[in-house]
Structure 1
Amino acid sequence: MDDRPFALTGLFRAGLPDPAPRFAGLPRYNFVYGHNDPSEVPADALAEAAAAVLRDSGRLLGMYNLGEAPQGHARLRAFVAAKLKRLSGITCSADDVLMTSGSLQAMDLVNNLFVAPGDTVILEEFTYGGAITKVQKLGARVVGAPLDEGGLRIDALRQILEDLKAEGVTPKYIYTIPTVQNPTGSILSLERRHGLIALSRAFGVPIFEDECYADLVWTGRRPPALYALDPARVVHIGSFSKSLAPALRVGYIVADWPVLGRILATKTDAGSGALEQMVVAEYAERHFEAHLGPLRTALRRKLDVLIDALGQEFGTAAELFVPEGGIFLWLKLPDHVDVRRFAGTALDAGLAFNPGPEWACAPETAKSHMRLCFALPTEEIIREGVAALARICFEQTGVPAHGVNRRRG
């Protein structure tokens, strides 16, 4: 008899990521992830919506997919189609919408449809870190397309496509966040959108459009979605995470049925959470438009506080890429600064930020950048957190040597 302790850990398959740490609570100065402003979550109205749908339709929870089509709750899919028509210019029906467990599941489903080991995909040079790691884990080659203050550079993208064509490579898709780009916060102009569609047609490469921040444009106005310009060439995903509540995990995919039908065939979860969909539909039909204005105002106010605090503490040492909406600010410190040097020290001191390399196809190109999420902390905590960030940064790198009214060292 073998008396040695039995350990399941010795039987895990190879290639797994490192284990996740135990959750120890959020840091006091939390500028990471896609949290939103808790004070702007319409909790009372959501509670009323939950009570209403449980009272009127709760019995339907006894059936998978509420006894409806497997794409998700019919009322919510109809609302999404109407919202996209009104705000993004997309003409689609509820049957063209598939509800998902947040846009992360939507991303996984689209990748599962298109990407195989050895394939090539084009992403914006700075982009959502999860988009990069997901395709890398699938064994795909990532090519970063340059950005400027107006978003994706169409001239540079054309050159990339021509170079790949010369190699005999047709990318599986071009992934873009055209409206409130993550992390830079830019909005792709209508002219560039038409240029992107033209390149898709010329080189036979589809577009994977991620619009999960589009409802948070400060002005409330945005160009038509890429899907609206050419639905045959675009797969569109979106989410209620940033416009309503991240923890609800309600996202969606919009695509023509030949695409959506194949995606649906690979969705093996027996349907995304139905109660969340019912509650969001009940709430959104009545309150969604009225909710967005105050939310944008609150987020813009926090951004203004963050910009002011960074100016006071970092002076001219920080180059800010002021977003046109959303919940993130992208900034750059002097070239010799590597923010990874002090990210761990900052976290130990209760301050979390996203180092730029996590959001770059070529990590070293963003070693001096960082992304700050300003939605979660209060205005007071934002100011305290930026002061702590400047102090830690100076102690580790000598930058910033001084703010507006103070000299360090």
Structure 2
Amino acid sequence: MNTRDSNFSLEDHLVAGLPQPEGRFSGYPKYNFIGGHNDPGCIPSDGLAAAAVSVLERDGKALAMYGLGLGGAGYPPLREFVARKLSRRSPGVVSADDVLITSGSSQGVDLVNRLLVSKGDTVIIEEYAWAGALNRARAAGVEIVGAPLDAGGIRMDALEAKLADLQGRGITPKYIYTVPTIQNPTGSVLSLERRLQLIDLSRRFNVPIFEDECYADLTWTMDAPPTLYALAPSQVVHIGSFSKSLSPALRVAYVVADWAILGRMLNFRTEVGALDQMIVSEFFTSHYDSHMATLTKSLQNKLTVMTEALEKEFGTSVEIWKPEGGIFVWVQFPDHIDVRSFTASGQEAGIAFNPGPEWTTSPEDGKNFMRLCFALPDEETIRNGIAELARVCFEATGLPPRSSNKSRATD
């Protein structure tokens, strides 16, 4: 018997202001340059399978207990690995007791916001920033102040001016959010000099630093300076992730902070997949260096392919913010171009890219930018996709006037 009441709808009882439902997933587009996907050819399937067998044979019986019977902070061997990994850049600063495992870095952002901000507060976020951090801050009802950037990361003179202006109005921001190593989306690395200046500003204006280091393992042009946490543990909450260094699907990340912070986060954190933690720990304890060498080499090759394709197809019509690592390219068009004008036509042509307004503190200031992820597609797909992107862009905006050294006006 059908007991469904045709006059009753759960949808009528939803709270006001919710977004429209997502469409049903029907697969990714042919030229997929969005999101933080990884390189499929560098997923160490055999190594992960062997790690799973090894760790289950040794510790599998612990799966009978919540938290593996080892407390709520996460699988101890994984927390110890995180401490060792971070200590390479700053020996002796981080111990396993300073590490809390989370379900992706997004959970880390939620936990920091839960502890530090309330509706109506003010936070400072880099003017070009991860959409997830921006969206979560907006959902929390806070005022976002953008920190100006250049090719070297946050401009400390501009940040000091922002902090002084806020102080003059009686406002103390709840944190300064920064991605200092492989900034998302620009790909810059904050120098040690600027890191020390940032620590000084944090102390002088009594504003904590929220450090997001999710891409720090993916540098290839330089050795990254010490983390901000290592330079001033009492002033910094640090998050990191294995999504970009291993697999985004595994959803394993971490927060590093004083126990006064981590212990309170445990009140709100949902359980993290125990088997995922065990596998990541087992694999990376033995294969971290070799895996990162393989992955970063592949990513650097793909970046070269993408930048060459952009230069070939767009020429001087765009400026490429060449990253010092990571998986993204930040592309700047002339000021009069709005990339949203060809987002829909791009989708119709099987092209997906991240429009700049989604990645900026002031959306209209980002209208002439786009973010392209080069990790997922293979090299041929990158070349073909950028050529198709140039065609779609020209039809909408008249740029680029030439591609492959050929005028488009004659096409």
Q: Tell me the TM-score normalised to structure 1 length.
A: 0.98
Q: Report what 1:363 is aligned to.
A: 363
> Which of the numbers 42, 52, 66 marks the counterpart of 2:68?
66
CA positional deviation for 1:404 = 4.3
Distance in 2 (CA, whole Å) between partners of 1:3 and 1:40 is 51
Q: Which of the residues 254, 260, 267 maps onto 2:262? A: 260
Percent identity between the aligned chains?
A: 57
SS in 1 for 2:408: coil
Seen in structure 2, the aligned counterparts of structure 1 residues 157 and 3 have a Cα distance that, compared at 3 Å, is: closer
- C-alpha distance in 2 between matches for 1:82 and 1:399: 49
Secondary structure of 1:266's counterpart equals: coil
Query: C-alpha displacement at 1:293, in angstroms?
Result: 0.9
Give 1:220 shift: 5.7
Aligned position for 2:43: 41
Alignment correspondent of 1:402: 402
Name the stretch that deviates more: 47-56 or 187-196: 47-56
Listed one character per residue, the Cα deviations across residues 206-249 of structure 1 (whole Å, up to 9, x for unaligned) are 00000000000013610000000000000000000000011010
- Aligned to 2:329, the other structure's residue is in SS state strand
Q: Check whether the contact 1:84–1:90 (CA below 8 A) recurs between aligned residues.
A: no
2:209 to 207, 210, 222: 207
Task: Return the match for 1:82 from 81, 84, 87.
Answer: 84
Q: CA deviation at 1:55?
A: 1.8
1:368-407 map, 5 Å? 368-407=368-407
Instruction: Name segments (4+ residues, structure 1) moved above 6 Å.
Output: none
Tell me the equivalent position of 2:173: 171
Distance, in Å, in 2 between the alignment partners of 1:150 and 1:46 is: 36
Aligned match of 2:281: 281
CA displacement at 1:89 relative to structure 2: 4.8
Written as runs of structure 1 = structure 2, the 5 A alignment for 1:138-217 is 138-217=140-219
**Structure 1 residue 16: deviation in Å?**
1.7
* Count of residue pairs brought into register by the alignment: 407
> In the alignment, which residue of structure 1 is the partner of 2:139?
137
Q: Matched residue of 2:36: which SS?
A: coil
Write the deviation string for residues 60-112 of structure 1: whole angstroms up to 9, x where unpaired. 11100000021000000000001100135561211110000011111111111
- Cα offset, 1:11, TM superposition: 1.0
Aligned residue runs from structure 1 range 296-311, under 5 A: 296-311=296-311
Give a deviation string over 1:174-213, Cα, whole Å, max 9, x none: 0000000000000000000000000000000000000000
Q: Which one of 7, 31, 34 corresponds to residue 32 of structure 1?
A: 34
* 8 Å Cα contact 1:339/1:355 also seen in 2: yes
Distance between the aligned counterparts of 1:210 and 1:60, measured in 2?
A: 32
Partner of 2:22: 20
Displacement, 1:35?
0.3
More deviation, 50-59/199-208? 50-59
User: How far, CA to CA, are the matches of 1:215 and 1:396 in structure 2?
Assistant: 38
**Which blocks of at least 5 consecutive residues in structure 1 are unaligned?**
none
Quote the Cα distance in structure 2 between the aligned partners of 1:215 and 1:163: 35
Task: Provide the rounded CA distance (Å) in 2 between the counterparts of 1:384 and 1:3.
Answer: 51
Partner secondary structure for residue 267 of structure 2: helix
Superposition deviation, residue 5 in structure 1: 3.1
- CA RMSD, 1 decimal: 1.3
CA distance in 1, matches of 2:264, 2:5: 51
What SS does the aligned partner of 1:331 have?
strand
**AA aligned opposite 2:17:** G
Q: Deviations over 1:104-135 (max 9, x none)?
A: 11111111111110000000000001111101
Deviates more, 1:85-94 or 1:58-67: 85-94
* Match in the other structure for 1:120: 122
Partner of 2:113: 111
Secondary structure, aligned partner of 1:13: coil
C-alpha separation between the residues in 1 aligned to 2:163 and 2:147?
Answer: 10
Checking the alignment, whether the CA contact within 8 Å between 1:35 and 1:376 is kept in structure 2 is yes
CA contact (8 A) 1:320 1:330 kept: yes
* Residue 291 of structure 2: aligned partner: 291
Letter in 2 for 1:221: D
CA distance in 2, matches of 1:87, 1:230: 14
Question: How big is the shift at 1:403?
Answer: 2.3
The question of 1:343 aligning with 2:343 is answered yes
3-state secondary structure, aligned to 2:311: helix
Paired with 1:7 and 1:88, the residues of 2 have a C-alpha distance of 57
- Give the letter aligned to residue 339 of structure 1: V
Q: 1-side partners of 2:76 and 2:134: how far apart?
A: 32
Q: Distance in 1 between matches of 2:310 and 2:15?
A: 46
Are positions 1:9 and 2:7 aligned together? no
Q: Quick one: which amino acid aligns to residue 347 of structure 1?
A: Q
Are the equivalent residues in 2 in contact too, given 1:122–1:175 (CA < 8 A)? yes
Shift of residue 17, structure 1, vs aligned partner: 2.1
Structure 1 CA distance, aligned partners of 2:92 and 2:126?
23
Question: For 1:73 and 1:141, how far apart are their aligned partners in 2?
Answer: 36
Shift of 1:3: 6.4
